[in-house]
């Protein structure tokens, strides 16, 4: 955008200006509460609809209720004069604002379930705007980005998003925007594509993270009064996330003890005599996850040394792929799985369960203890620090999905002692099966008699 805004009641702050003027295709404005993120998203959409003919800006929240309460409210606040003069008309049937001079639209959208994408499947989106991006799954974001297109080269195509730390999308948003490069720097990614003649060409995609802080807000009185409200909050984690937009520590994080520099280690060769076992959480439409664990018989430290994470594959293929990951001589006397494997029928013709299918492929699972509270306690204990200063559980750095998803899990607001199961929790589930149900015998065999080691209270083994 050359001119920043054409919105009467909005004057962009320096950070908002960067959000408007950056040349990155994807821009994420994220961090502290109250910095003016939603306002910037709205001002950008309005300005583009005033500037370009037949422009289509799609603004998203998870639910339509949220969209109305935040985005619509902000549009009404910024554009009161235009609406009053009839230059912008809200049409409820289209769920959008129509700009009479340019015939452009701002659509108010929602995406709360997989199926909601059906409303937007055929759309031509010129500006995609997503508020509270950390409430979205990455696959949903990808679905929407895949609709950003136009045959008119003069229409700017951009993805704008805003959000705070926390939420089910915290992990992927952090990986995609925050960890990828220092803030306010464009991240360049060259993506290959195969042309019709078979040759390969490259397209450069760009993205940028713009950190929001309350300090950026243009109004001193707003800053002061909101700062007081935030400082009144008792929970220090929440305060830090809202005030400073700290992405490593966020309100509602289920495993806030996670520290990458302590919990992640470079892979090494696991000696053959170390006991190994694996655990698996089934999913077909959603993800399925498995983790392989080994215990150092001297230190009793557990290593998560391999992961398997897929979606959309049936049990037979999953079993074969898992086997392929294993070495031919790998000793895995214990394989634990979600007890629902013995309930779901894989194929109506022969009445066999999913567990039977794995059996046929040479993977013999034992039902795991699915007690959720024992599970979360076991994971917390495993992440805690042993007397030598290192955690009882360490994860090989190539287990990228586990490392990405575990720190992003959030607590269940209705059951704060448990993890919110709408997050990406399959590898966490596999780990809790692996820890709670780990066979006592497997471990006791390898335990030095004089040193009962970790978890010697027995509660850990189920
Ligand atoms: N540049 C601006 N000019 C005028 N008003 C602004 C500007 N930026 C933000 N505001 C107003 O400040 C208030 C807070 O801004 P906004 O809601 O955009 O913050 P936010 O970063 O989205 O907060 P949250 O993290 O709570 O979602 C709103 O009332 C908004 O209209
Ligand atoms: Mg907001």
Say what the pLDDT of residue 446 is: 44
Tell me which residue has its CA closest to atom 31 in ligand 1.
39
Residues 393-452 have pLDDT tens digits of 999 999 999 988 898 888 887 887 899 888 889 999 999 999 997 744 344 444 443 333
Beta carbons of 195 and 15 less than 8 angstroms apart: no
- Which of 38, 132, 223 for a ligand 1 pocket mutation test, highest count of atoms within 8 Å of Cβ? 38
- Averaged confidence pLDDT in the chain: 88
Q: How far is CA 204 from the centre of its chain?
A: 24
Please report which ligand is nearest the Cα atom of 61: 2
Please, which pLDDT band fits residue 56 given cuts at 50, 70 and 90?
Answer: very high
Judge whether residue 46 has pLDDT over 90: yes
Which of 166, 345, 137 has its CA nearest to residue 248? 166
H-type alpha helices, 101-178: 138-145, 170-173
The CATH topology of domain 260-446 is Nucleotidyltransferase; domain 5 (3.30.420)
Cβ–ligand 1 contact at 37 (below 6 Å): yes
Tell me which residue has its CA closest to atom 16 in ligand 1.
36
At residue 456, the 3 state secondary structure works out as coil
Domains of the chain, residue spans: 14-244, 260-446
Say what the pLDDT of residue 250 is: 67
Cβ–ligand 1 contact at 5 (below 6 Å): no
> SS3 breakdown of the chain: % helix, strand, coil, rounded to 5?
35, 25, 40
Please report which ligand is nearest the Cα atom of 7: 1
Say what the pLDDT of residue 2 is: 41
Atom of ligand 1 nearest to the CA of 70: 17
Judge whether residue 29 has pLDDT over 50: yes
- Which of 6, 28, 34, 223 for a ligand 1 pocket mutation test, highest count of atoms within 8 Å of Cβ? 34
| Centroid of ligand 2 to alpha carbon of 71 (angstroms) | 8
Cβ–ligand 1 contact at 218 (below 6 Å): yes
CA 206, 422, 430, 362 torsion-angle sign: negative
Residues 91-123 have pLDDT tens digits of 999 999 999 999 999 999 999 988 899 999 989
Judge whether residue 391 has pLDDT over 90: yes
Please, which pLDDT band fits residue 459 given cuts at 50, 70 and 90?
Answer: very low
Say what the pLDDT of residue 457 is: 32
| Centroid of ligand 2 to alpha carbon of 133 (angstroms) | 10
Helix H or strand E segment including 336 = strand 334-337
Cβ–ligand 1 contact at 39 (below 6 Å): yes
Cβ–ligand 1 contact at 210 (below 6 Å): no
**How crowded is residue 330: how many other Cβ atoms within 10 Å of its Cβ?**
14
DSSP E strand boundaries for 65-199: 88-91, 96-99, 104-110, 127-130, 158-163, 187-194
**DSSP classification of residue 216:** G
Instruction: Please give the CATH number for the structural domain made up of 14-244.
Output: 3.40.50.300
Q: Tell the residue number behind the tokens 């992961």, with chain if given.
A: 307
More confident: 236 or 150: 150
Which of 151, 123, 161 has its CA nearest to residue 25? 161
| Centroid of ligand 1 to alpha carbon of 459 (angstroms) | 50
Say what the pLDDT of residue 5 is: 65
Tell me which residue has its CA closest to atom 30 in ligand 1.
39
- What's the count of helices (H) and strands (E) in the chain, helices before strands? 16, 18
Cβ–ligand 1 contact at 71 (below 6 Å): no
Q: For the purposes of burial, counting CB atoms within 10 Å of the CB of 424, is it exposed (0-12), middle (13-18) or buried (19 or more)?
A: buried
At residue 368, the 3 state secondary structure works out as coil
| Centroid of ligand 2 to alpha carbon of 258 (angstroms) | 27
What CA–CA distances, in Å, run from 55 to 16, 29, 88, 105, 156?
22, 22, 14, 6, 9
Average pLDDT over residues 308-325: 94
Cβ–ligand 1 contact at 16 (below 6 Å): yes
Residues 258-311 have pLDDT tens digits of 887 889 999 999 999 999 999 999 987 778 999 999 999 999 999 999 999 999
């Amino acid at each position: 955008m050359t001119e920043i805004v054409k919105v009467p009641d909005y004057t962009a702050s320096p950070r908002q200006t960067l959000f408007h003027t950056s040349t990155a295709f994807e821009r994420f404005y994220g961090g502290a509460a109250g910095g003016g993120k939603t306002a910037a998203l709205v001002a950008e959409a309005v300005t583009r609809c005033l500037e370009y003919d037949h422009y289509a800006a799609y603004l998203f929240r998870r639910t339509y209720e949220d969209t109305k309460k935040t985005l619509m409210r902000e549009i009404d606040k910024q554009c009161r004069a235009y609406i009053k003069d009839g230059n912008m008309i809200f049409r409820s049937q289209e769920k959008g604002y129509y700009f009479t001079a340019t015939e452009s639209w701002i659509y108010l959208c929602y995406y709360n379930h997989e199926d909601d994408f059906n409303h937007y499947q055929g759309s031509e989106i010129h500006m995609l705007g997503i508020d509270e991006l950390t409430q979205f799954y990455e696959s949903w974001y990808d679905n929407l980005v895949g609709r950003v297109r136009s045959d008119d080269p003069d229409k700017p195509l951009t993805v704008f998003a805003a959000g705070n730390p926390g939420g089910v999308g915290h992990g992927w948003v952090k990986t995609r925007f925050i960890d990828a490069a220092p803030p306010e720097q464009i991240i360049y990614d060259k993506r290959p594509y195969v042309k019709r003649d078979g040759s390969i060409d490259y397209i450069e995609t760009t993205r940028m993270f713009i950190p929001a802080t309350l300090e950026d807000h243009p109004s001193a009185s707003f800053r002061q009064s909101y700062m007081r409200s935030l400082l009144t909050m008792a929970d220090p984690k929440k305060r830090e996330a809202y005030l400073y937009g700290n992405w490593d520590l966020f309100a509602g994080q289920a495993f806030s003890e996670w520290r990458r520099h302590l919990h992640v280690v470079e892979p090494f060769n696991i000696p053959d005599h170390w006991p190994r076992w694996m655990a698996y959480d089934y999913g077909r439409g959603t993800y399925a996850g498995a983790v392989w664990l080994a215990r150092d018989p001297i230190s009793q430290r557990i290593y998560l040394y391999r992961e398997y994470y897929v979606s959309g594959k049936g049990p037979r293929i999953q079993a074969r792929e898992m086997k392929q990951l294993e070495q031919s001589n790998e000793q895995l006397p214990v394989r634990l799985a979600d007890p629902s494997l013995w309930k779901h029928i894989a194929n109506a013709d022969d009445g066999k369960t999913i567990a039977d299918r794995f059996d046929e492929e040479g993977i013999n699972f034992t039902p795991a203890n699915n007690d959720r509270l024992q599970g979360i306690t076991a994971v917390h204990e495993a992440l805690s620090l042993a007397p030598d200063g290192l955690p009882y559980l360490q994860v090989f750095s190539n287990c990228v999905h586990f490392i990405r998803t575990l720190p992003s899990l959030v607590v269940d607001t209705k059951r704060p002692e448990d993890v919110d199961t709408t997050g990406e929790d399959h590898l966490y589930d596999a780990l809790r099966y692996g820890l709670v149900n780990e066979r006592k015998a497997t471990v006791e065999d390898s335990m030095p008699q004089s040193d009962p080691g970790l978890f010697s209270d027995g509660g850990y083994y189920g």
